[in-house]
Each structure stands twice: as structure tokens, then as C-alpha cells.
């Protein structure tokens, strides 16, 4: 099914976020979010690889035999990963040292392979490039959110360099950093809390949309129905309104009067 560009970006960044919704790419998510700078470096690398690999896979999707498509995808992805790795080594050695093995491991990142197989192999070049860009941005935003919490609570600073130097101190001397947030256990704790928060926000948003739609349907139906919360499921449902309880000026009553 063809998707519009705004829909692709909305899904990739918000409703189908690869980290907070799909829970993909957990290894780099947990390992590279000790600082915002490291998270940005990893996120930008993934954006570049994901966007251009999606583009090339889409261009070649009718040429690549189905029997070797996964191997072909890995070859294309590894080419872009190598290019990105060489650029980072040449111009950003501190980030390259901090991220270490996780840059070349982008080749087998499940987010990259998932978008190649699920989207780029079935859609045109423009849509595939936008999907890669949107998914990469969603992944980067998730990394930055996690890194923001971990670095702020773990060190009381933000935007420290990849080698640990510099940074902006947010709290004064009164603040005692919770170094657990800079440890692997702190990464799991932060990720779990943010995933729960995102899921709650999405549930509230969906319930609000559903309630609004039910209210519109009830109004269009001439006050035949009202809204109530189902005690068993907790969801908002429609309940028929007895005829004697309907307003005298409702469309249903008027229709009845006209018939008589």
C-alpha cells in the first residue's frame, strides 16, 4: 500500500518509532547513550546508512534475485557503513574512539535490515529514502532522549565531549550524581521508564481520538447512544439511550412526530 510522505515521517518518528515502539537496535541504544554527543554521533551515522541503503536497495529491487536478497542487502549496507566509518575516523576521531565497534556493527543492525526487507524492497526510491530518513531520525531522537536523562542524572552535566572532557554543568555543587545511570543497569532503567512513558502517551492519545469519534457518531445518530466506560475493559463504549430518556428535540423524536 502506497504511503504519503507525511505519513512515512509520522510513523518513522512517532507512531512506529524503532526504539520506543518496535524495541529494535537495543545494543547500540544501551551502549552508546552515556552522553548526548555519543548518541548524536551514532544517530547521524545510522541516518546516513539507513537513508542511502534504502535508496539503493529500492533502485535495485527488481534486479536482485529473491534467493540472495538478504546477502545483497548486507553488501549494499556494508558499503555505506564503511564509507561512514572512514569519514568518522578522519574527521571525528574522538567519536570514533568512543563508539568503537558499534559503527561497523551497523551492518547487522536489525533496524537497517528490517527497513530494507519490509519497505525498501517493496516501494519506490523517493518513499524508501524518506522512510530511511524518518526511521533514522526517530532512532536518533530516542538515543538523544535516553542519553539526556543518563548524562544529566549520572554526571550533572550535558554535552560532554566524546572523550569525557568539557560539557555544560547543569546542577551546582549541591548535586550528587547518580553514577548508576552511566552504568548498564542505568541504561536498562532509563530505557524502561521512557518506553513506559511513550506507551502511556500513545494509549491516552488513542483513547482520546476514539472517544471523540464515538461522540461524533452519537451526535450524528440523533442521541440514540451515549458514552460510558466499560467496567470490564476500561474502554469507552457506546450505550443505547432509552427512548424516554432521549431529549425532546432529538432527531429521532422529530422523525417519530413527523411519521405520526
CB under 8 Å, gap of 24 or more: what pairs does 73-80 form? 73/113, 73/116, 73/117, 73/121, 74/107, 74/108, 74/113, 77/49, 77/53, 77/106, 77/107, 77/112, 77/113, 77/116, 78/107, 80/48, 80/49, 80/52, 80/53
Please give the Cα distance from 234 to 211 (Å, whole number): 12
Find the helix or strand (DSSP H, E) in which 131 lies.
helix 125-155
Rounded CA gap, 57 and 42, in Å? 22
> What per-residue confidence (pLDDT) applies to 4?
86
Please tell me the pTM assigned to this model. Answer: 0.79
Q: What is the pLDDT of residue 258?
A: 46
Give, for 112, the enclosing helix (H) or strand (E). helix 110-115
pLDDT in tens, the chain (260 residues): 678 889 999 999 998 999 999 998 898 899 889 889 999 999 999 999 999 999 999 999 989 998 889 999 999 999 999 999 999 999 998 888 888 888 998 988 889 989 998 899 999 999 999 999 999 999 999 999 999 999 999 888 888 776 667 777 888 778 888 888 988 889 999 999 999 999 999 888 888 888 887 776 655 554 455 555 666 666 666 565 555 555 555 444 444 444 44
Q: Is the dihedral of CA 100, 106, 110, 115 positive or negative?
A: positive
Which cell numbers in the block locate residue 213? 469519534
Cα–Cα distance for residue pair 184/190, rounded to 1 Å: 10
Amino acid at each position: 500500500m502506497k504511503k504519503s510522505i507525511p505519513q512515512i515521517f509520522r510513523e518513522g518518528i512517532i507512531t512506529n518509532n524503532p526504539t520506543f515502539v518496535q524495541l529494535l537496535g537495543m545494543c547500540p541504544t544501551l551502549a552508546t547513550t552515556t552522553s548526548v554527543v555519543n548518541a548524536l554521533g551514532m544517530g547521524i551515522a545510522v541516518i546516513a546508512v539507513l537513508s542511502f541503503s534504502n535508496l539503493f536497495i529500492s533502485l535495485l529491487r527488481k534486479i536482485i534475485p529473491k534467493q540472495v536478497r538478504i546477502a545483497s542487502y548486507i553488501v549494499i549496507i556494508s558499503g555505506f557503513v564503511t564509507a561512514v566509518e572512514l569519514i568518522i575516523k578522519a574527521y571525528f576521531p574522538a567519536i570514533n574512539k568512543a563508539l568503537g565497534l558499534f559503527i561497523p556493527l551497523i551492518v547487522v543492525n536489525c533496524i537497517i535490515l528490517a527497513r530494507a526487507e519490509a519497505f525498501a524492497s517493496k516501494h519506490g526510491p523517493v518513499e524508501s529514502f524518506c522512510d530511511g530518513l524518518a526511521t533514522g531520525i526517530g532512532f536518533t531522537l530516542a538515543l538523544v532522549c535516553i542519553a539526556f536523562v543518563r548524562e544529566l542524572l549520572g554526571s550533572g552535566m550535558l554535552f560532554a565531549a566524546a572523550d569525557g572532557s568539557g560539557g555544560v554543568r547543569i546542577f551546582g555543587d549541591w548535586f550528587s550524581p547518580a553514577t548508576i545511570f552511566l552504568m548498564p543497569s542505568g541504561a536498562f532503567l532509563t530505557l524502561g521508564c521512557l518506553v513506559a512513558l511513550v506507551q502511556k502517551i500513545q494509549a491516552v492519545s488513542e483513547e482520546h481520538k476514539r472517544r471523540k469519534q464515538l461522540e461524533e457518531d452519537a451526535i450524528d445518530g440523533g442521541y440514540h447512544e451515549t458514552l460510558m466506560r466499560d467496567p470490564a475493559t476500561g474502554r469507552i463504549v457506546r450505550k443505547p439511550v432509552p427512548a424516554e430518556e432521549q431529549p425532546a428535540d432529538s432527531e429521532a423524536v422529530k422523525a417519530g412526530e413527523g411519521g405520526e
